[in-house]
Homo-oligomer: A and B are copies of this chain.
Amino acid sequence: MADIDASAGAVAGEGTRVAGDPGNGSRLVPPDAPPAYHRLLERLGQVSDLRATTSLLHWDEEVNMPPGGAAARAEQKATLSRLAHQAFTAPEVGEWLDELAPWAAQLDPESDAAALLRVTRREYDRSRRVPPDLVAELARASSQGYQAWVEARAQRRFAPFAPALARLIELRRQMADALGYAEERYDALLEEHEPGMRTRQVRELFARLKAGLLPLVQAIAERQDRVRDDFLRGDFPEADQWALTLEALRAIGFDFRRGRQDRSIHPFTAGLSPGDVRLTTRVDPTVFGPALFSSLHEGGHGLYEQGLPTAWQRTPLADGASSAVHESQSRLWENVIGRSREFWIFFFPKVQARFPHQLAGVDAEAMYRAVNRSRPSLIRVDADEVTYNLHIMLRFELELALLDGDLPVDELPAAWREKTRAYLGLEPADDGEGVLQDIHWSWGGFGYFPSYALGNLIALQLWEAALRDEPALPEQIARGDLGGVLRWMRAHVHRHGARYEPLELVRRATGSELGEEAFLRYVRRKYGELYGL
């Protein structure tokens, strides 16, 4: 739901290790590493420092910066991004990579050094294909697009945003063509978030997922009276909710010696290093739930960042495998764990102790049911587990059509309405609660939406695999012991950092290909029971 700002390279933290964190076993620098390898590592370290600092500039802007700092901050971020890009794409980096190719060829492909060179080569080649003029033009168009979007949103009318969006689509097409692609244009944009994945795969996966979801959504919509959640609205003072988010984060294993949580308008996670991971959330004192689940969501991102191998610090390996894999971790803790019956057996007494009057007469089971109430809604970020992926598919289909030129920009609002009707059975009153609701397109951010849904699928595949290995996990959760879940994720996901492409990571961690079945099994069982289907 929230953005993850974890592109920063990572540096050793000094926190505790959960078994399975491999950090120390890593051999990033083989004894016979040539000088060019050392030079490359030094440069990657600088780039990582610049990126981590850029993350801090962003975090600080959202959390601390006084309004008067805005103009200077924009300059600072631009300068640091430019320097990081220059340092990474400098010709000597390519020369070092070329020089190292024969040496790399005789390394064990499973070795850390081989993985580092592979990932660096991929990122370097991609970065070098980006024409600097196009980057500058996109930056301008993004900024104009954002302003036009803000204006359009204020009017709740798409028209004022249309020309800027058309321009952004055109520039993104040019970018895709400059980057190159194997099968279709969208591949080039998808590659930025999901290395090695193809649009075709996403399209096929989503088709099967949609076919599975639509009947379920419809069945639930017809039985809305089965689950009540009215007691979640009321007077839930901010300080108590905040304290509960901290309790929940501690319970899932977030290490506050290597991280912190603050307030911001839009929740996000900034992973400055595995030793310095910053979550943000927001609290609405009139409703219980959103703050806690937002904390668990960001906490999931944060656990991934804290679990990246310390030995890979300041290299591109100390990063998540992809946006979808990152989302799998946030959605796992937010939904699969945080909205499980077992979690509420453990956690409900803590909540009730803080809100004895507000939750009088409510028990753990009632709470479990309430936080899982499902109903089609117009706004993606408010959507429940069942309907959420439909919001994503709608966006994926539309941005694909826009990019391919199959959908003219001025027909976008109508197409949005039509798909909203078809998938969710709802009709947006205006563009504000329709096509203008997300910020992503305002800066030309095409290619990211699929990662949200893919993350949901991966979360359930990982969870099924973890349960096969450790059938006692649910029982442990009900007792408040969430360490087993974290240990499994550390061992099968976190410890690999960016070593594997996402499809390969899923294969290795779960023994099967990325697919929709685990997710569909999960929602059918869980919501079938909740809604008596």
- Chain A residues with CB under 8 Å of chain B are 10-15, 45-46, 49-50, 52-53, 56-57, 60, 64-73, 75-76, 78-80, 83, 255-260, 272-276, 313-314
Closest 6 A/B residue pairs (Cβ):
A69-B276, A11-B72, A68-B275, A68-B258, A72-B273, A13-B68
Selected from B64, B76, B256, the residue in CB contact (under 8 A) with A66 is B256
Q: Which residues of B contact A15 (CB under 8 A)?
A: 68
> Given the interface contacts A50-B79, A52-B76, does A68 sit within 8 Å of B260 by beta carbon?
no
What is the minimal beta-carbon distance from A125 to any residue of chain B, in angstroms? 24
* Contact status A11-B49, CB under 8 Å: no
Chain B residue at smallest Cβ distance from A12: B71
* Contact status B76-A13, CB under 8 Å: no
What is the minimal beta-carbon distance from A69 to any residue of chain B, in angstroms? 3
Chain B residue at smallest Cβ distance from A16: B68
Distance of A50 Cα from B56 Cα, bound (Å): 13
* Contact status B75-A259, CB under 8 Å: no
Distance of A258 Cα from B275 Cα, bound (Å): 30
* Contact status B314-A68, CB under 8 Å: no
Q: Which residues of B contact A276 (CB under 8 A)?
A: 65-66, 68-69, 72-73
* Contact status B68-A53, CB under 8 Å: no
* Contact status A71-B275, CB under 8 Å: yes
Chain B residue at smallest Cβ distance from A50: B79
* Contact status B68-A259, CB under 8 Å: yes
Counting chain B CB atoms within 10 Å of each CB, the highest count among A49, A69, A79, A257 belongs to A69
Distance of A14 Cα from B74 Cα, bound (Å): 14
* Contact status B69-A272, CB under 8 Å: yes
> Given the interface contacts A13-B69, A56-B60, A67-B257, does A45 sit within 8 Å of B75 by beta carbon?
yes
* Contact status A72-B313, CB under 8 Å: yes
Distance of A49 Cα from B74 Cα, bound (Å): 10
Distance of A257 Cα from B49 Cα, bound (Å): 30
Q: Which residues of B contact A52 (CB under 8 A)?
A: 72, 76
* Contact status A260-B11, CB under 8 Å: no
* Contact status A260-B66, CB under 8 Å: yes
Selected from B70, B79, B255, B260, the residue in CB contact (under 8 A) with A49 is B79
Q: Which residues of B contact A49 (CB under 8 A)?
A: 75-76, 78-80
Counting chain B CB atoms within 10 Å of each CB, the highest count among A67, A68, A79, A274 belongs to A68
> Given the interface contacts A49-B80, A66-B257, A257-B67, does A272 sit within 8 Å of B72 by beta carbon?
yes
Distance of A13 Cα from B276 Cα, bound (Å): 29
Q: Which residues of B contact A314 (CB under 8 A)?
A: 72, 75
What is the minimal beta-carbon distance from A46 to any residue of chain B, in angstroms? 5
Chain B residue at smallest Cβ distance from A54: B53
A-B contact pairs, 10 of them (CB 8 A): A10-B72, A11-B75, A45-B75, A46-B83, A49-B79, A50-B79, A50-B83, A53-B57, A66-B276, A72-B272
Chain B residue at smallest Cβ distance from A10: B72
What is the minimal beta-carbon distance from A460 to any residue of chain B, in angstroms? 31
Given contacts A13-B71, A50-B80, 9 further A-B contacts (CB under 8 A): A11-B75, A45-B75, A46-B83, A52-B72, A66-B276, A68-B275, A71-B273, A73-B276, A83-B83
Chain B residue at smallest Cβ distance from A11: B72
* Contact status A14-B70, CB under 8 Å: yes
